[in-house]
Amino acid sequence: ANYGAAKAAMMGLMNVLCIEGAKDNIRVNTLAPTAATRMTESLMPEDALALLGPETITPGLLYLVSEGAPTRVILGAGAGAFAVTKVYETLGATLTGDDLSPEGVAKAFEQIAATEGQEELTQAFHQTQKYARNAAEAQGLNLNWG
């Protein structure tokens, strides 16, 4: 649990450092490596472990600290494979009145979980703005907010 929580915390730290460093053109990224370690050695067969040496991650790390690197990227790396990891949020549903209940969430859950139209969530405050706008719209209010 500690390891997983620490990895999730790194994503949050990266996002905050990106915001704070942008004014000084500082790029911040996160490497999410997978490698043969003492922690993983009992989870995989020997031939899989042989593919997961640290040297198969290093090219990704070196790219992330290079002049041409992007910012706010979570780069997965291991066994010479590289991928970008992103957090997405569905469009969801806004519940009001009697529907604002556990039963209402259950009833709307298919819509809440639908992946069509989902968007990358890059800042938690964007989520707050989205929810407030949707709630205001559902109640016929105009927030006049960014």
Domain identity same for 122 and 76: no
Q: Is residue 114 part of a domain?
A: yes
Q: What is the CATH number of the domain that holds 6?
A: 3.40.50.720
Q: Are 76 and 96 in the same domain?
A: no
Specify the DSSP element, H or E, that contains 130: helix 124-138
Residue-range definition of the domain harbouring residue 92: 88-138
pTM for the model stands at 0.77
One DSSP character per residue, 19-33 reads HHHGGGT----EEEE
| pLDDT at 130 (0 to 100) | 87
* Tens-place pLDDT, residues 106-118: 999 999 999 999 9
Q: Give the residue numbers annotated as catalytic, written as ranges.
A: 3
Residues 73, 98 within the same domain:
no
Q: Quick check: 70 pLDDT over 70? A: yes
Number of domains in the chain: 2
Express each pLDDT in 74-104 by its tens digit.
999 999 999 999 989 999 999 999 999 999 9
